Amino acid sequence: MSAFEKLSALKDKMMKPIYDKRRHLGCEMCGTTFYGHYQKDGHNAVPNGKETPHPTKKGWVILETYSDVFYPVCPSCCLCISVTDAKQAKEVYLERQEKQKKREERRAAKEEKRNAAPVNCGKRLFFERRDLFYKRLEQVWENPENIKPVELLSTSFLDELFIIHSGLGVRSKMFAHYKVKKLFIDGTYMSNSGKSKMGWFTPYFVIENTKTGKVREHGAERHVEPRKNRRNDPDRNWGLPE
Ligand SMILES: [Zn+2]
């Protein structure tokens, strides 16, 4: 037997108890605990109990590991990097669960607060809660013949109705015998440098009663002409030098 073989036999003998011992392990990722053995290969090395201070980060330590002792994979989620001692794994898992639960509670409370806010569409059209407003928009879109006159006359109601169901842009749809067209007043203009577009589009609605042919328009009165700049002002010679 060569010296090398002797040495490796000695090492195997020394390491045997480490591999043979049945251990209570757990997975930080899925919370499963199980009994298993350390193994000779893998990706998650087992610490050997020694620690060295981190060379640059103050207060940090490096956990030293055995060179050829690894945790087995988690039998439940098949990850190996999240396997550790059962007690620690359980603690980490529960702590994360708890944090997630709190996060969800906070999100639900925020959502509820948002939904509880009233929505005022003007023209005596008022919703006590935001979710009731969106529920009503849904109902009207599904059954357009049920639209109420007050809803047909509300710019903000019609605006949101079109936005959530068919997006931005020019749209038209029949509501009972009323043909509703969503149009825009173009209030955009170029900046002084001509590099960017300023101003805004104001949506307005043209409603045609297809039985009587009567047409009415609303929303356009809300349009506010943006402030003039040098570039679009004839009094200042369109911003050109004298
Ligand atoms: Zn797992």
Distance 73 CA to ligand 1 centre (A): 8
Residue 102 is predicted with a pLDDT of 97
Distance 49 CA to ligand 1 centre (A): 24
Residues 29-48: tens digit of each pLDDT: 999 999 999 999 999 999 98
CB within 8 A of 200, min separation 6: which ones? Answer: 187, 188, 226
What is the residue-averaged pLDDT of the chain? 91
Distance 26 CA to ligand 1 centre (A): 8
* Distance (Å, whole) CA 30 – CA 229: 61
Distance 132 CA to ligand 1 centre (A): 43
* Distance (Å, whole) CA 121 – CA 70: 65
Residue with tokens 């550790």: 84
One-letter amino acid for residue 178 of the chain: Y
Distance 42 CA to ligand 1 centre (A): 15
Distance 66 CA to ligand 1 centre (A): 22
* Distance (Å, whole) CA 61 – CA 52: 5
Distance 74 CA to ligand 1 centre (A): 5
* Distance (Å, whole) CA 59 – CA 235: 70
Domain spans, the chain: 3-111, 119-239
CB within 8 A of 116, min separation 6: which ones? Answer: 129, 130
Percent of the chain whose predicted confidence (pLDDT) is above 90: 67
Residues 164-211: tens digit of each pLDDT: 988 888 999 999 999 999 999 998 888 888 888 888 899 999 999 999
Distance 82 CA to ligand 1 centre (A): 7
Residues 206-234: tens digit of each pLDDT: 999 999 999 999 988 888 888 878 888 88
Residue 136 is predicted with a pLDDT of 96
pLDDT class of 124 with cuts at 50, 70, 90: confident
Residues 131-148: tens digit of each pLDDT: 999 999 999 999 999 999
Distance 237 CA to ligand 1 centre (A): 73
Distance 146 CA to ligand 1 centre (A): 53
Residue 113 is predicted with a pLDDT of 95
Whether the per-residue pLDDT at 123 is higher than 80: the answer is no
Compute CA distances 220 → 28, 34, 123, 182, 206, whole Å. 60, 69, 15, 11, 10
pLDDT class of 239 with cuts at 50, 70, 90: confident
Q: Helix or strand or coil: residue 172?
A: strand
Whether the per-residue pLDDT at 23 is higher than 90: the answer is yes
Residue 112 is predicted with a pLDDT of 95
Distance 89 CA to ligand 1 centre (A): 10
